[in-house]
Amino acid sequence: MLGKFTKKQAAPKYSKEELVSHAQVLFNCQPEVVVGALSDNTQDDYTIEEVQTLIQQFNQRMVK
């Protein structure tokens, strides 16, 4: 019965530099896109899911 009660592990967080340097592999986009998506945020570390969401929001922004 103990096996049914497992704790959800926190997703690993990565630095901006790591995410930008691996942008092509992780997010299938250019590093510049990741830099732009993270430019408005002051966090130092992000999960991959957080960055994917920020990239989607960045790509949907209106160009002025």
Measured CA to CA, the distance from residue 44 to residue 42 in angstroms comes to 6
**Does pLDDT of 60 surpass 60?**
yes
What is the pLDDT, as a whole number, of residue 6? 60
Which pTM does this prediction carry? Answer: 0.81
| pLDDT score, position 30 | 96
- Report the percentage of the chain scoring pLDDT > 90: 72
The domains of the chain are located at 12-59
Q: What number is the average pLDDT over the span 14-42?
A: 96
Q: Torsions phi, psi of 46, nearest 5?
A: -140, 155
Go through 23-45 and write b for each residue having 16 or more CB atoms within 10 A of its CB, e for each that does not. beebbeeeeebbebbbeeeeeee
pLDDT, position 63: 80
pLDDT at residue 2, rounded to an integer:
53
